[in-house]
Structure formats: structure tokens, C-alpha cells
Structure 1
Amino acid sequence: MDRRIAAEHRHIIALDLDGTVLDHDFLGAGDDYEGGRISVELGDAIRTLHEAGHEVIVSTGRSVDATLPIVERLRIRPEWVIAANGAVTLRRDPLAPRAYRREYVEAFDPTDALLKIRTRLVTARFAVELAEGGFLYTEPIPAGTLPSDQKQVPFEALLGVQASRVVVVSPDHLLEDFLSVVESLGLTHVSYAVGSTSWLDIAPDGVTKASALEVVAARLGIDRSRVFAAGDGRNDIEMLRWAGRSGDSVAMGQADPEVRAAARRVTGTVEEGGLFTALRDRFPDLIR
């Protein structure tokens, strides 16, 4: 049976990875757990939507190097992939390494932000993801979502470069204290999102998952009423609000209250298969 949809019914389906598609608390082992588990039914549902003609777009804070292996695990070949919280947008190109090229890269000089943060978070670890790829860091930072091309450097080497994002990790601070410090810094000309741990992602001003999706939606000619987005983190708030204004947005059940408030609706937790439930409810003709 042909399950391809008509062009006028095509949706953008924007999916965060960690905590949304990927379950990191799954007590498994082997290849299925590498980088987090993807449930069989969820993987099947995502492939069904992709093969039917919907534009499935992974939209993640991960680096490019840490994103494309998950796309491969999903066994889909999307036209667009958004990484680094919207600072890097990839487009499929069979001639490019790993079949994707950097279509849009937003870059900035992180000097002012880094110097300001260092005065308040003196024990923090700092890193810069370079616009052209690669990763400079002052001290080791938890791996898993970062580029494989890494180089340890003194703090001063992070200044004056062209960065797609800055990462600040402060394990000596409780999250509440970390949030208070970050809010007091008065950072300007950058966008930032604080994770569920003492982890700060800084991007060029105005750059978020939502800003990248807006560009892709215009390129695809898909109306905002036909957008679905799902996420669980503070870096998903803008994306959930953007999608929910005219379309549909779903927060995962384990998300913080401010993330849940940004979405049109809340589904189950990642452990409960919340994304599968949300996709089945939104696309019942394809997913059962």
C-alpha cells in the first residue's frame, strides 16, 4: 500500500534528541545503548513519517559529530539536520563527508561573554565549538554530545575565534546557584540556554533551534500550521513556542515546568515512550 502523503499535507517534524528521542536512563548494554536507547516502536514511527514524505528534522544541541551518528541509527535520510542549538544547519549532500554539508553556520566572537563569565565562575570549565568544526577546551568536559576533533588549550586561546557556540560547565555550583549567577551576568549579543545540570550553552545573538527551523521552513515552503516539535530541555523552549503558535508542540513529561509551559501540550516521559504517544496522536493515519 502506498502511504506517501500529498505535498500539501507535508509537515515539518522537529525532534530534539537527548531526553526526547534518546533515553539515557535505559538499563541496557551494547550497540542499542550507545549514546542512549531509541525504542523500537519510536524508531519505526519516525521512519514511517519520513518515508511517507514528512520532513523529519533532528534539532539538537549536539555537535555535528555527535548528531549524525544518531541520524544514521534512526535509518533515515532527512534533507535537513539542525545541530549546535541552531548555529549549524546541515543539508543532505551525497558528495559531502557523511553525506551532509554545512548549509548555514552562525558564528560570533565569544571574547566578551567568556571574560564576563570567568569573573563570576572562576572554577568553571570553558570550551568553544569552532564555526568550521573542531572543539577547543580548557579542561575535559563530559563527552557524548561534543565533536570528536578536540584540543586542550589555555583559556586565552578561546578568545578572538569564530565560534558557533560556547560551553561553560561548572561542577562546583548547584544548578540554582549557577542559574542565579548566569542571570546576573547581563549577557548581551548572545543567546544562552542552561541545561538541567550546571551546563551553559551560548550561541550567537538570536540563534536558537527556532531561528534555524524558521529558515528551513521558508526554504521548504511549509506553512507554520503544519509544524510539529517535541523537546524536553530549556534549549527547546523557543522551538516549542515557535511551533506551537500556529502548529503543534509537545514537551516531554520529565521536562521542567518552564519547558512544559512553553508547549501546547505535555506527553509522557521519555521512559514511558512519550514521543511515540505524541506522534501517534498527531499522525494517527500513519502510526498505530
Structure 2
Amino acid sequence: MRDNRAVTSPTPRPWTPAANAPAPRLVATDLDGTLLRDDKSVSPRTVAALAAAEKAGIEVFFVTGRPARWMDVVSDHVHGHGLAICGNGAAVVDLHGGPGRHRFVKVRELTPETALDVVHILRAAAPGTSFAVERTGGLHHEPTYPPLHVEPGESVAAAEKLLADGSPCADQPVLKLLAHHAELAPDEFLALARAAVGDRASITRSSPSALLEISGPGVSKASTLALCCAERGIDAAEVVAFGDMPNDMEMLAWAGTSFAMGNAHPDVLAAASGHTVANNEDGVAAVIEQILAARGPSGEDSPDPGDRTPGTPESK
């Protein structure tokens, strides 16, 4: 994994290609807090930038913790391949056909046995934890799990019953386990859970509340993006990634060039090779525009102008 150190300044500077860096072939962007504005809209400027990137031959992948059924906000903006990585890497989804008509292309499930093991560990390590189970067919949760989103559960029962072989949804793969704690601070809960669970599962968070997202061991945005890139013959050095929360950190560290948003979690800045302005200021679009402007008439990046300026990606 690359040793990407953030270069930050109060005001982000224009993007310039690093010396001898290959031209970007793929843009990987998180959604909430990154591509989307706080009102969950995709700005006209961002829509235009995404289309221009695709027209220039740069693939765009949406890489999100969202389940596939929440992808309607961007399903009109997929181009070419039409694929998105959902559930923090647990699924690759074809969004062609629009909302409600998505198709799972790849599923990297969390086995019910592992999920049950994690439930038991966290009940002991953090009493008061409540759980929800995200399967390919929808969300199932415990009676004490808070209504964090306006979405009724497909079923309501104790996690042990939701994960049992005889549950009504047992035929649906588990994409992730969600764990919420009403009293612990978000980062405190994350650190506690990672220490208690170890390498049994991958644990991260993207919510401002103490809500953890638990996937199968080794499953992350980064690892699934790497699989998708390998299938296309795209190297990490040819990827530009964007994110704002801890669940983006592995992806930002893996990509050859990465940007933390101006509104990013402090830890995310350390995982990215640069930073851009906030999501409400169209930070993703601003960088894409700069990438396209830097390409010469032949479509290749223009020569490196030389001096690095604060806030731009470091040479690697």
C-alpha cells in the first residue's frame, strides 16, 4: 500500500500532474459528503464534470457505503459501464435501468456465522449496542435500533434471529452488519470495536453518529475497487479517488492520487495525497475540471510545470 501523506493548506491549490505519473484512467468517488452536496443533490457543475470525464475516456465509479436501493440519486449519471460499488465494497451493482432495477454483479458477503460472532463480541464489549442486518433484499433490525433513516425494516427481531438459518431472509446474502451505540462517541466506539473484533471482520464508519458498518474480513471500498480495476487492466497509479470519512481511508491510500474533501474527518486527511474544497463547493468537480484542463491536445497530461504547491498531490 502506498505511503500517501496529505499535503494540506488553508486554501487548496490547482491540481497538476506529478512528474512521470500516468494519465488518470479512472475516478473513484464517495457520495455523501463528497460528490453530493449536503442536500443530497448532484450539482449541475458536477454532472457536467462527470460527463466530461467519461467523454475524455476516464471511467467514473461511485464507491459508497450506501445500499444499492439508495443509488437513485446518481443512477441518472452513470455512463458506459453503469457500475457502482455499494455497501463499502460488499457489492458491485449495475445501475442500468434506473431506480429499483439494479442488478448485483458481484457480492462479497459477510457470513451469518461471522456476523453472529461479532454480535456476541460487541454485546459483551459495549453493552447497549443495537444491531441491524443489511442483506441484498433490504434492511432488518432489532427493536432497539434507532430510526436513523426514514426506512421501515423488512423485519424486526433480535440480531440472533435475523441471522439464524431459519429466518425468512436467510436466502439473501448479508452485505453488512450495522452496530449503533447511543452513548459512546463515534471514534471511541470504532476503536473499541476494532480492538474487540480483531481480524474477524472489517469495521468502519461513515455516519456522524456512533454507527459502525461491519463487513466480511478484507472487504472494503479499496479492495473491491482494486478488483474492478484489475478486471479493466487499470493500475492503482491511474486512479484518482475522493472521500471524506473513515470508510474512505483505505481507498484513498490505495489510489495513486487521492483527495480528502475540505469537510473531511481529520483522519482522512492523513490517508489522502492532497485535498480539495468541500462537497458544497463542488470539490470533486473542481479537481476533474483541472485534470481535464491539464491534458494536452493528444489527451495526455501536460508536462509537469515543476514546483509543487501546497495542497496538491505529492510526487510518488
Q: Name the TM-score, length of structure 2 as normaliser.
A: 0.75
1:143 to 135, 144, 149: 149
Residue aligned with 2:92, SS: strand
What CA distance in whole angstroms lies between the structure 2 residues aligned with 1:273 and 1:127?
33
What residue ranges of structure 1 are gaps of 5+ in the alignment? 1-7, 25-32
- Residue in 2 that maps onto 1:224: 236
Q: How does 1:1-288 map to 2 (within 5 A)?
A: 11-24=25-38, 33=39, 36-67=40-71, 69-74=72-77, 76=79, 78-91=81-94, 98=100, 100-107=102-109, 108-109=111-112, 110-130=115-135, 132-138=136-142, 139-143=145-149, 150-160=154-164, 162-195=173-206, 196-243=208-255, 247-284=256-293
Write out per-residue CA displacement over residues 167-199 of structure 1, whole angstroms, 9 at most, x where no aligned residue.
Answer: 112122223542343244143321110333211
Q: Tell me by how many angstroms 1:239 deviates.
A: 0.4
**Segment of structure 1 superposing worse, 186-195 or 261-270:** 186-195
**Contact 2:78/2:95, CA 8 A, preserved across alignment:** no
Letter in 1 for 2:178: V
What CA distance in whole angstroms lies between the structure 2 residues aligned with 1:98 and 1:54?
27
Q: Tell me by how many angstroms 1:285 deviates.
A: 5.4
What CA distance in whole angstroms lies between the structure 1 residues aligned with 2:24 and 2:265?
31
- Residue in 2 that maps onto 1:29: none
What CA distance in whole angstroms lies between the structure 2 residues aligned with 1:178 and 1:55?
36
Letter in 2 for 1:11: R
Residue aligned with 1:271, SS: helix
**Segment of structure 1 superposing worse, 134-143 or 251-260:** 134-143
What CA distance in whole angstroms lies between the structure 1 residues aligned with 2:157 and 2:189?
24
What CA distance in whole angstroms lies between the structure 1 residues aligned with 2:95 and 2:190?
37
1:238–1:169 Cα change, 3 Å? same
- Residue in 1 that maps onto 2:311: none
What CA distance in whole angstroms lies between the structure 1 residues aligned with 2:73 and 2:79?
10
Q: Tell me by how many angstroms 1:92 deviates.
A: 5.7
If asked which structure has higher relative contact order (CA below 8 Å, sep 6+), I would say 2
Write out per-residue CA displacement over residues 119-172 of structure 1, whole angstroms, 9 at most, x where no aligned residue.
Answer: 233322211112x3222101344127x7x7732222321334541101112122
1:169–1:149 Cα change, 3 Å? closer
- CA-based RMSD of the aligned residues comes to 2.5
**Segment of structure 1 superposing worse, 115-124 or 207-216:** 115-124
Q: Tell me by how many angstroms 1:100 deviates.
A: 3.8
What CA distance in whole angstroms lies between the structure 2 residues aligned with 1:39 and 1:91?
23
**Contact 1:232/1:255, CA 8 A, preserved across alignment:** yes
**Contact 2:189/2:210, CA 8 A, preserved across alignment:** yes
Letter in 2 for 1:85: N
What CA distance in whole angstroms lies between the structure 1 residues aligned with 2:73 and 2:57?
20
What CA distance in whole angstroms lies between the structure 1 residues aligned with 2:24 and 2:273?
20
Q: Tell me by how many angstroms 1:229 deviates.
A: 0.7
What CA distance in whole angstroms lies between the structure 1 residues aligned with 2:82 and 2:94?
6
Residue aligned with 1:216, SS: helix
Write out per-residue CA displacement over residues 233-254 of structure 1, whole angstroms, 9 at most, x where no aligned residue.
Answer: 10000100110xxx21111111
**Segment of structure 1 superposing worse, 171-180 or 267-276:** 171-180
1:9–1:74 Cα change, 3 Å? same
What CA distance in whole angstroms lies between the structure 2 residues aligned with 1:58 and 1:176?
25
1:216–1:176 Cα change, 3 Å? closer
Q: Name the TM-score, length of structure 1 as normaliser.
A: 0.81
Letter in 2 for 1:22: L
Letter in 2 for 1:272: E
What CA distance in whole angstroms lies between the structure 1 residues aligned with 2:253 and 2:47?
25
What CA distance in whole angstroms lies between the structure 2 residues aligned with 1:232 and 1:190?
22
How many pairs are equivalent?
261
Residue aligned with 2:212, SS: strand
Residue aligned with 2:60, SS: strand
